[in-house]
Amino acid sequence: MKNMILFFALAIIVSCEQKSKEFLNIGASVQQNDELKENPLLMNPITSSIQPKDSTMSTLYGNEIAFDYAKQHSDSNYPKNAVLYEVTWKQKPDKLWFGGNIPKEIYSVEKITFDNDNSVYERFEEKPLSKIQIKEAEEKLRKDFIISQKMTVSP
């Protein structure tokens, strides 16, 4: 009897350990060789969106300053030292949830850093994530869109 209990306990531990490795989505994570100095996925999520036409999904993350500001204000006048990251992933079907999609790999990361009266926009793409330049008009459109997003309200 004692051996049976030990056997079942070991079987449960081994099966749980193997499944947890399956659920870790390494491909959708920031890698060590990327040019980003910090991992936005470790910051506070502010809102998220899905773009079915492009088969992508995005999450807006913020550092503590940006997150606290977004919680208390509905405008886009972020204070000095606030940092926003818009992370966009390509999608893939979820093997465990029929009809659902999950992140496949990071498509782009857009970073906005706030100083006193201005903000600095940076965009990272490719694999590994590398800083790229975009046209000034597109940069302004992207910056305005990212900054205008409101925090998701949850119960």
| Distance, CA of 35 to CA of 151 (rounded, Å) | 27
User: Residue 117 — φ and ψ, nearest 5°?
Assistant: -120, 5
List, for residues 38-66, the tens digit of each pLDDT value.
899 999 999 999 999 999 999 999 999 99
Domain boundaries, the chain: 28-148
| Distance, CA of 83 to CA of 92 (rounded, Å) | 28
**CA nearest 146: which of 68, 96, 83, 64?**
83
Q: What percent of the chain has pLDDT over 90?
A: 55
Residues listed for the chain: 155
User: Stretch 4-23: mean pLDDT, rounded?
Assistant: 54
Range with the largest mean pLDDT of 30-34, 100-104, 147-151: 147-151
Q: Going edge to edge, which strands form the sheet with 83-93?
A: 44-51, 56-62, 83-93, 101-114, 119-125, 130-132
pTM of the model: 0.80
When the pLDDT of each residue in the chain is averaged and rounded to a whole number, the result is 85
Task: Say whether pLDDT at 81 is over 70.
Answer: yes
> What does the DSSP assignment read for 3-19?
HHHHHHHHHHHHHHHHH
List, for residues 95-110, the tens digit of each pLDDT value.
888 888 888 889 999 9
In the block, tokens 């998701």 appear at 152
